[in-house]
Amino acid sequence: MTPPSVWVRSRGGTYEVVVGPGLLPDLPRSLVEAVGARRYAVISDDNVAALHGHAVMERLREAGLDASLYTFPAGEASKTRKSWSILTDEMLEAGFGRDACVVAVGGGVTTDMAGFVAATYLRGIPVVQVPTSYLAMIDASVGGKTGVDTKAGKNLVGAFQPPRLVVADTSVLRTLPREERAQGLVEAFKHGAIMDRPYFERLEANFDRLMDADGDAAADAVLRSVEIKAEVVGEDEYESAIRQILNFGHTLGHAIEAASQFRIGHGSAVALGMLLEARLGEEMGVTERGTRERLEKPLVRLVGPLPKFDPEAAVPFLRSDKKVRAGEIRVVLLRRLGEADKGEGWSRAVPEAQLRDLLAKAAAAR
């Protein structure tokens, strides 16, 4: 039986996202059909390498493909130019040419890091994404965004590098700790919040099954989220307009995450960011009243008590957000649950003083 898939439109060429359980055994054939490279550089963090990276490399070798595994330390703190430099230097020393392909096996950090390696190595070689977490399957592996973090904030150095193929084997989700499943599912609820209220409600109804990585429920959620992201990315690949809505909760969430030096998980930070941006929208008369409260129950159920944070430490990271235009901080707001506000080009300029006050009130309530 052919697994379900979604095709994503890109200026670099349309690519397929294949979703379902038990896809990894067929990965060598998929790579040959999608890329047909002479050599494959499998990149994983050291945690995922032990679980899946070595197995992927060996599977490729058993199929007669030339494959080598490269690793970096797990965690957001390793998503840096230093790690990128080490990986690219290792590939250069091994003599990988432009007929090579990067195979990214891992979560969101790996999809960003390995994608950036592929985007910059010899001015660009193909990348195939093999996501192993909800976050990576639902969000990070699709859309072509790659990059690393800097002291000024998250993902501020990077490139757009659409993958040639995404293989989302949902059976590997069972190897994740439950808290990591929860962190990634925040992005699924975000997709429902910005574009599809029935999907949001379906996620609520399937909450326990999703947390258990139940096969049908997990595949359904990943597939629908990929469909939503593909629709947005196909219309606006380089985030000049509607693609900004995928950053709902991220302007404030990324600032809180970076200010904590990544001690606060991405999902927890984005969950808090979604609630704060919903509250901001209600205060501005843009978002339907009661939306923040409607979001709160499933998000708190996912990530537990929302994190404490230093509001003043978060403010400088707002100024370096990628949506800043002409010195103005811009925030994505909802019109109502399931519908993003078109605003002033899908985001709205908000005075820094107003955001500072919002953060201060939220921090005091923690």
* Span 16-64, pLDDT tens digits: 999 999 999 999 999 999 999 999 999 999 999 999 999 999 999 999 9
Confidence of residue 186 (pLDDT cuts 50, 70, 90): very high
Tokens representing 74 are 């797990």
The answer to whether position 189 is within a domain reads: no
Work out whether strand 348-349 and strand 330-331 pair parallel, antiparallel, or are unpaired.
Answer: antiparallel
Annotated catalytic residue: which of 79, 164, 181, 229? 229
Q: Are residues 14 and 132 in the same domain?
A: yes
Q: Are residues 165 and 278 in the same domain?
A: no
225 backbone φψ class: left, alpha, beta (φ>0; ψ -120 to 50)? alpha
Position 322 pLDDT exceeds 80: no
Q: Are 104 and 114 in contact (CB under 8 A)?
A: yes
CATH of residue 314's domain is 1.20.1090.10
Annotated catalytic residue: which of 154, 190, 191, 254? 254
Determine the pLDDT at residue 311. Answer: 93
Annotated catalytic residue: which of 154, 181, 187, 348? 187
Mean pLDDT of 231-239: 93
Least confident piece of the model among 40-54, 183-197, 279-293, 297-311 = 297-311
Q: Are residues 33 and 108 in the same domain?
A: yes
The answer to whether position 201 is within a domain reads: no
The answer to whether position 185 is within a domain reads: no
The answer to whether position 193 is within a domain reads: no
The answer to whether position 158 is within a domain reads: yes
Domain span at residue 143 reads 5-175
Annotated catalytic residue 123: yes
Q: Are residues 47 and 131 in the same domain?
A: yes
Put simply, whether the predicted model's pTM sits higher than 0.75 gets the answer: yes
Annotated catalytic residue 266: yes
CA 183 to chain centre: 11
Distance between CA 109 and CA 44 in Å, rounded? 9
The answer to whether position 103 is within a domain reads: yes
Annotated catalytic residue: which of 76, 227, 239, 282? 239
Annotated catalytic residue 16: no
Of 135, 158, 175, the domain-final residue? 175
Position 1 pLDDT exceeds 80: no
Distance between CA 76 and CA 263 in Å, rounded? 9
Annotated catalytic residue 82: no
Concatenate the DSSP letters of all residues of 302-347 into one string: HH-SPPP--HHHHHHHHHT-TT-BTTB-EE--EEETTEE--TTTSS
Tokens representing 56 are 């992927």
Phi–psi pair at 97, nearest 5 degrees: -105, -170
Determine the pLDDT at residue 53. Answer: 98
Of 149, 175, 201, the domain-final residue? 175
3-state secondary structure of 20: strand
Phi–psi pair at 119, nearest 5 degrees: -65, -30
Position 366 pLDDT exceeds 90: no
Annotated catalytic residue 190: no
Q: Are 192 and 203 in contact (CB under 8 A)?
A: yes
Place of tokens 């809505």: 245
3-state secondary structure of 302: helix
Annotated catalytic residue: which of 79, 247, 277, 322? 247
Annotated catalytic residue: which of 52, 154, 250, 330? 250
Determine the pLDDT at residue 130. Answer: 98
Determine the pLDDT at residue 307. Answer: 84
Place of tokens 């139940």: 214
The answer to whether position 348 is within a domain reads: yes
Q: Are residues 347 and 256 in the same domain?
A: yes
Q: Are residues 155 and 251 in the same domain?
A: no
Q: Are 227 and 198 in contact (CB under 8 A)?
A: no
Annotated catalytic residue: which of 79, 190, 224, 266? 266
Annotated catalytic residue 52: no
Annotated catalytic residue: which of 52, 79, 145, 190? 145
Q: Are residues 259 and 146 in the same domain?
A: no
Of 134, 151, 175, the domain-final residue? 175
Position 122 pLDDT exceeds 90: yes
Distance between CA 185 and CA 179 in Å, rounded? 10
Annotated catalytic residue 191: no
The answer to whether position 282 is within a domain reads: yes
CATH of residue 153's domain is 3.40.50.1970
Q: Are residues 246 and 168 in the same domain?
A: no
Q: Are residues 169 and 312 in the same domain?
A: no
Give the number of domains in the chain: 2
Annotated catalytic residue 54: no
Q: Are residues 265 and 124 in the same domain?
A: no
**DSSP state for residue 139 in the 8-state scheme:** I
